[in-house]
Structure 1
């Protein structure tokens, strides 16, 4: 059994005062309250409040909430930072997701009744504490005037459920079942890693729970017999009262597919879409930037680096809250879309996404490993390419931590040299090409095994041969002995392909340990067990050959 690092709550910030907020069922949730001014001269007159509800310790170093709260307070906001139910100093069970609507509502109600509150509340936060904003908004509480969720989604976290009506399904993240065994197991955070070489993850989970002497409520809710508890009383998080939203997505955030799914859902709800503002940055989940200075690309940020990070992280939200919470200006003063053209330092504004004037360009793979745009040209005859998926020799994930991809900013060119990765290269660009909008792939695949995972990665290859992943998608085909056509969403791009650079596509059947790998027998990857190599097939050429559709704003793909 690996070592278990237990992280209890950190001391509460001296810049705040503690509070215990009673929920409707009597459970008390711990909060820190920050008021503008020095602690001994705090401004307790009624004012606007920012609420942050998170499971990662409201007082801890990981999310540096005390520094964030003090930054908001310096801008005149009262701040309430709260441990969600069952975490750190809060009472109750550590049960993922399902209590956040009601607990968010009850916390908003408590804030509205405090003498230092004027009844107007905004919410801010990343990841799970972005999710708690969507949940609080779904409660319909009238005190919530604006939210600013970052790198998150309303569908965050739960395991992939099979859909018997289709042969395709999403591929499971490796971290999915680990989250309720680490961050959401009990009040404290328990940090440990399975032995990724063993791959009998379910057995290792049982060993872990035996070691700590208790079972995990959230884990047992999910595995092995899932109990589906509703997250949102209205079914959809966007079924009820809408809230002005500043929605931040990272081009390299591994949770970005969840964010983009929410963008699509919001577009179908006019009351939400009317005041949905999108901000797309060249960041990953941990807010590392593509063009990060070398001295700031470090796993543990210093106190000064954290303070330097605050303005670019919080100022957009403050400007948004000033309009929708304080009434300083109107919605027309704020752009609907602010986006980073990755590969440059440029921020652009648009009335909608994708930008006006874009066009779709299809690239077709060829049997000799090419990738070409030839519009109007007939495809070459269909050819079937093959490779072996060997559960004993999986394609490795490129970054040590998928949540901080840009910390490593890995060169993925060596992965394309493997025998179990198909590689397709376009010609070098003769001028800069700006890509802005959706990317998708269409593939016809089959396997001699019952389940086939198909990963498609789009890379920017520099003249020196190094390759940066700029888009990706993956999808699973069940009953894979019968060929199937997969429409794979690779997400969205806002990226400048420089002169002399080329696009490359990698196709593989594993990406481990970021995604759980197939044992080759159709068995549950979390359980593992017996394994068997599979022979995989992909078609190039013909009507169903591998093609990639990109959205081009400026320039021409070769």
Structure 2
């Protein structure tokens, strides 16, 4: 690198072992912090797949990780290091000067960083399940009463993956406060600090990631942008999509792909034998075509110049619950319309409310208690691998601190294709209130699959607040006989940092106090669920 630091880099050349293909060719660069030679990311198998198509593959441990020199500092060195690595590639005898990039999560982020570096040799990127603001702590804005709820991974990731060259795994005990003290014990045991953790806690220092305000201020680079319907980081991806749509030159170079997968590339339609935490080499190889062929088709056009942009669909997407990919000119698909459901109090003795097509005319208030000592549990042990477990979330609705609202069963298949939002008025007897909303598909047998979710934090919560909660995007078929269900709660622990009830900063809070939470139904401030419905879909109230 320009400062003399050396980054460990593997080069894979096409051809039989010992007899690499002669001459120069196109290169695919992968820059990651998860060990370029390890089993977790199986880069050697990916490189084998790419080289079989004639590409040179360069895999690199980012600065400070595994075999690379330098400090393990999240995000801030990736622009310059990306530029210097691409520059190095262009001077190698096996390179023809054209470079593409591929990868998931952090090694999707390194692609956006390389775009921001504006190296002219970067011809195309294929970032998956990532975002330009990946891992950034929530920034409170003066005067705003609502803001995002902080993920626990924000503070755990710098200690597990970016403490030093190695990775250190440990589990947060959500019953033991303060959480910050658990981190300090880990750092004491390791015998050194994590500069990435210390830049974010106890007072966040937001070091600049990009030399410009956003990668989208840089020269547009053709991008195949892959999002998973069940990716917990999907909100970051969709935020980038919204930014790109405001920039015509970037929008012309942007191609969207949306799949029924989570962050760790488990799919909704995976066979049970493939729904395992440790996948065999044969299982991984079987996944490679689905994972890599879209990028290869994209690079064929934008790196090798074979074909035209019109050969690639602007939006390729899977309607979850159906087979195959669909193609559209835009997202949401043209003709999709918004339909609303409203929460109403229940009429039975089970305490469940209803979702109805018309807002109740009578204003009522429903309440629940948020107890930080007994928070609503997260439904999976690993939020990044939701579909590995594909949990039944119906039991969560049996808790006293979860409000449940049910719609009538769909009379026909209902295709949900676009944004999902909730508008509501809430309040609390505590100073800060978190509101979590989950949208579920309830099958006739009573099992419930989460299909969308959103959350918001309200400050000065003792006064009623109108909240607009983004539940993300949906491409999902609700089958006839299934019903929609909404869960409303104030925690999802340990995936999100639970409010202590005192108003104290939650990562360092020591004491906890239960809060009584309130949600308004009907009247002038109804709880409204807005769904986007495909134009051909039946079963939606008019």
Alignment counterpart, residue 279 of structure 2, candidates 267, 276, 301 = 301
Q: Could you say which residue in structure 1 is the equivalent of 2:410? A: 429
Q: CA deviation at 1:380?
A: 2.1
Q: Does 1:237 align with 2:219?
A: no
Query: What is the aligned residue count?
Result: 533
- CA distance change for structure 1 residues 224 and 248 in 2, over 3 Å: closer, same or farther? same
Q: Could you say which residue in structure 2 is the equivalent of 1:114? A: 92
Structure 2: how far apart are the matches of 1:507 and 1:194?
24
Matches within 5 A, 1:328-367: 328-367=306-345
Q: Which runs of 5+ in 1 are unaligned?
A: 1-22
- Confirm or deny: 8 A CA contact 2:407 2:484 kept in the other structure: yes
SS in 2 for 1:177: helix
- Confirm or deny: 8 A CA contact 2:175 2:373 kept in the other structure: no
Q: Could you say which residue in structure 1 is the equivalent of 2:393? A: 412
Q: Could you say which residue in structure 2 is the equivalent of 1:264? A: 242
Query: Which consecutive segments of 4 or more residues in structure 1 shift more than 2 A?
Result: 194-197
- Confirm or deny: 8 A CA contact 1:55 1:128 kept in the other structure: yes
SS in 2 for 1:70: helix
Q: Which runs of 5+ in 2 are unaligned?
A: 347-352
Q: Could you say which residue in structure 2 is the equivalent of 1:312? A: 290
Q: Could you say which residue in structure 1 is the equivalent of 2:192? A: 214
Q: Could you say which residue in structure 2 is the equivalent of 1:528? A: 509
Q: Could you say which residue in structure 2 is the equivalent of 1:557? A: 540
- Confirm or deny: 8 A CA contact 2:83 2:119 kept in the other structure: yes
Q: Does 1:454 align with 2:435?
A: yes
Structure 1: how far apart are the matches of 2:373 and 2:106?
34
Q: Could you say which residue in structure 2 is the equivalent of 1:18? A: none
Q: CA deviation at 1:309?
A: 0.6
Structure 2: how far apart are the matches of 1:503 and 1:550?
11
Q: CA deviation at 1:39?
A: 2.8
SS in 1 for 2:335: coil
- Confirm or deny: 8 A CA contact 1:367 1:541 kept in the other structure: no
SS in 1 for 2:70: coil
Alignment counterpart, residue 146 of structure 2, candidates 146, 151, 168 = 168
- Confirm or deny: 8 A CA contact 2:360 2:521 kept in the other structure: no
Structure 1: how far apart are the matches of 2:211 and 2:419?
31
Q: Does 1:51 align with 2:29?
A: yes
Q: Could you say which residue in structure 1 is the equivalent of 2:425? A: 444
Q: Could you say which residue in structure 1 is the equivalent of 2:102? A: 124
Q: CA deviation at 1:487?
A: 0.2
Q: Could you say which residue in structure 1 is the equivalent of 2:68? A: 90
Q: Could you say which residue in structure 1 is the equivalent of 2:257? A: 279
- Confirm or deny: 8 A CA contact 1:53 1:82 kept in the other structure: yes
Q: Does 1:512 align with 2:505?
A: no
Q: Does 1:370 align with 2:348?
A: no
Q: CA deviation at 1:103?
A: 0.6
- Confirm or deny: 8 A CA contact 2:174 2:493 kept in the other structure: no
What TM-score does the superposition give when structure 1 sets the normalisation length?
0.95
Q: Could you say which residue in structure 2 is the equivalent of 1:403? A: 384
- Confirm or deny: 8 A CA contact 1:44 1:115 kept in the other structure: no
Structure 2: how far apart are the matches of 1:203 and 1:420?
28
Superposition RMSD on alpha carbons, in Å?
A: 0.8
Structure 1: how far apart are the matches of 2:105 and 2:177?
27
Higher mean C-alpha deviation, range 77-86 or range 164-173:
164-173
Q: Does 1:64 align with 2:47?
A: no
Structure 2: how far apart are the matches of 1:383 and 1:454?
18
Structure 1: how far apart are the matches of 2:97 and 2:390?
44
Q: CA deviation at 1:430?
A: 0.4
Structure 1: how far apart are the matches of 2:341 and 2:262?
27
Q: CA deviation at 1:197?
A: 2.3
Structure 1: how far apart are the matches of 2:387 and 2:409?
24
Q: Does 1:148 align with 2:134?
A: no
Q: CA deviation at 1:347?
A: 1.3
- Confirm or deny: 8 A CA contact 1:37 1:43 kept in the other structure: yes
Q: CA deviation at 1:194?
A: 2.7
Deviations 1:520-546 (A, max 9, x none): 001111112111000000001012111
Deviations 1:380-423 (A, max 9, x none): 21111111001111101111110000010000001111110000
Matches within 5 A, 1:197-212: 197-212=175-190
Structure 2: how far apart are the matches of 1:387 and 1:28?
56
Deviations 1:433-483 (A, max 9, x none): 101000000010000000000000000000000000000000000000011
